Amino acid sequence: MGKLHWEQAETEEVINSLVQQTEKLKPMISLLSQSITNFQTKVGDNSVLAGIANSKMSISLTAYIIPVLRAFRDFNERLTQKIAIFNRTESKLRSQGSVLDEETLESTLDELSEIEIKLQTLREAQSFTSNLFTEELAIIEVLSEALEAIGSYQISSDGSLLIVDQTNWLEKLKFYSEVNLERFLDLLDCSEDNFRELVRKILADLRSDGWAAASLQRFVKIINAQLFSLNKLQNAARQVGSQVFLDLWSAWQCSDSKSAQDKLRLLLKIIQLPLDLPQSPALVAELISHFDHSLDPANEFWDDLSKTVQLAFANGNISDYKELGKQIHNLRYVISAQQAQYIRDSDPGNKTDGEKLALYLTKHDYTTEESDRLHQKGYYNGKFMQYPAGYANGDIKVVVNFHSEFILNSEGRFQNEIDPEGASENGIVNGASFNYADNNDRDKAKTHKRLDVEYADFDPAWRDYTINKSLKDKNNPVRYVSPTNFHPLLKTAKVGSEWNRSYQNPDGYYQINGLSSEQNSKRLRAEFNNLVETLRQKKKGS
């Protein structure tokens, strides 16, 4: 206990650090303020710009100059707030800055409480103010770059401004204004009741969503570590695949089926998946919006989700669990739609879905060797095979880590049961669905069959009707059926209707241009694999 004391010099060290930081800022702020003032006088303020809103010049000014002015405004606001912190900290430290030596401490145990309070004050001051103005120094540099670039503008023949952005200053200023300031204003009151109350409210909301205690503890750590506003962190926790969501998800370790089912219910609540899967592109887009735009098909989250589903339904088929089983089954279609849309959005160029997928797969492992027989459904009308609209000349299946599945028709378009861009009839009948199993039932538990194949009547009614029209409407003969797996090596295989319906029969009902359904699939898969390899080689050479 004799070593526990706090010298006045330690207090002065913290105060001097703060003073030095503010002194360093003063000349830079003065020059920056004058530059901004001159600049505003030269180009006019916001109200003047509004008067020429339809001109090319105004568009350029709005795009480049308004963000600079806004960032400077936010800079001043933040600086004012931080100086307030500086003043409060300095005052508090000086008021508690008397020397407390060993003799004073040892005189009474009550003094121990006093010194702990003062030491905590110093620790907090060191923590919150050791680099209080570091970000301001950085933003001054960015603002200076912006002013220099804008000051060297040229006017093009169409009236727009040509402004150089070599250092990416525009995005830095936008980020500063739109994100960091909000987080800072939250941090400002970090020791006050209102901030703690906001944290408590958000934790209560997340608990209401269904997050486990371990996930809530992880969220508190994220609050302390991340430079984002509390509201943004809460929103990120409700965005499947965001870094915050993934951190909370991984913190929740399930040990039994019940906890795994609770974890899945949380996921369903975040996605807002209804019991009856919607078909409308707008509603599908709304479902997909609950996934983070960065969540790609090869992300480890998908494997972890699959393991959670396997644990949740370890004691039977997914079809045994009624409401939860139905939602988890339909989630497979939502995930496949999200993954297809991720691929589409990954490349804004004018390419087919297949070309975009091939480009994505140049960086990932994949296979086309998993059977696509169940995705070749058609209706034989007694004369010829009638395939659903959108089938073109065949479908192929592309699989990433077995879980993520893509179905492409011969024209290179994704085929999905639901699609924010509109599903074809073939997509509804032969579309992709995420797999919860790790493989095609090479395990004794027959996981693929239990979780991905035998799902009772869980399919949405509109898909069931599209596939089985003849069973729902006596006036409609159409019923789409997969080719059989009847192999030509079997002695009895080449006789009767079973052989006619075989996946391997080049002369049967499912033949396409003289090829069996299987041969046609191999042809299309070879074309796709060649495209991926060509793109890989092209990348290596560039």
Residue in 281, 294, 290 with CA at minimum distance from that of residue 240: 290
Q: Report the Cα 271 to chain-centroid distance in Å.
A: 12
Which amino acid, 264?
Answer: L
What is the 3-state secondary structure of 244-282? Answer: HHHHHHHHCCCCCHHHHHHHHHHHHHHHCCCCCCCCCHH
Tell me the pLDDT tens digit for each residue of 374-401. 999 999 998 999 999 999 999 999 999 9
| Domain spans in the chain, listed from the N-terminal domain onward | 8-188, 193-251, 257-541
388 or 54: which carries more pLDDT confidence?
A: 388
Task: Name the maximum alpha-carbon separation found in the chain.
Answer: 106
Percentage of the residues of the chain whose pLDDT score is greater than 90: 46
* Cβ-based neighbours of 494, under 8 Å, separated by 6 or more: 488
289 or 488: which carries more pLDDT confidence?
A: 289
Residue 75 clears pLDDT 90, i.e. is over it: no
In a 10 Å sphere around its CB, with 0-12 CB exposed, 13-18 middle and 19+ buried, how is residue 12 labelled? middle
3-state secondary structure of 98: coil
Tell me the pLDDT tens digit for each residue of 130-184. 666 676 777 777 777 777 777 666 666 665 656 776 677 777 777 666 555 455 4
Confidence band, pLDDT 50/70/90 cuts, at residue 191: very low
> Average pLDDT of the chain?
81
Q: Check if the beta carbon of residue 245 is closer than 8 Å to that of residue 238.
A: yes
Residue 475 clears pLDDT 50, i.e. is over it: yes
| Beta strands at 385-386 and 395-400: parallel, antiparallel or unpaired | unpaired
Confidence band, pLDDT 50/70/90 cuts, at residue 443: low
Task: Return phi, psi of residue 489, to 5°.
Answer: -75, -20
3-state secondary structure of 411: coil
Residue 122 clears pLDDT 90, i.e. is over it: no
Confidence band, pLDDT 50/70/90 cuts, at residue 476: confident
Instruction: Give the DSSP letter of residue 57.
Output: H
Confidence band, pLDDT 50/70/90 cuts, at residue 222: confident
Q: What mean pLDDT do residues 404-409 have? A: 98
Q: Check if the beta carbon of residue 412 is closer than 8 Å to that of residue 352.
A: yes
Residue 258 neighbours by CB distance under 10 Å: 11
Residue 272 clears pLDDT 80, i.e. is over it: yes
Query: What is the model's pTM?
Result: 0.66
Query: How does 495-513 read in b/e, with b if 16+ C-beta sit within 10 Å?
Result: eeebbbbbbbbbebbbbbe
Q: Check if the beta carbon of residue 105 is closer than 8 Å to that of residue 94.
A: no
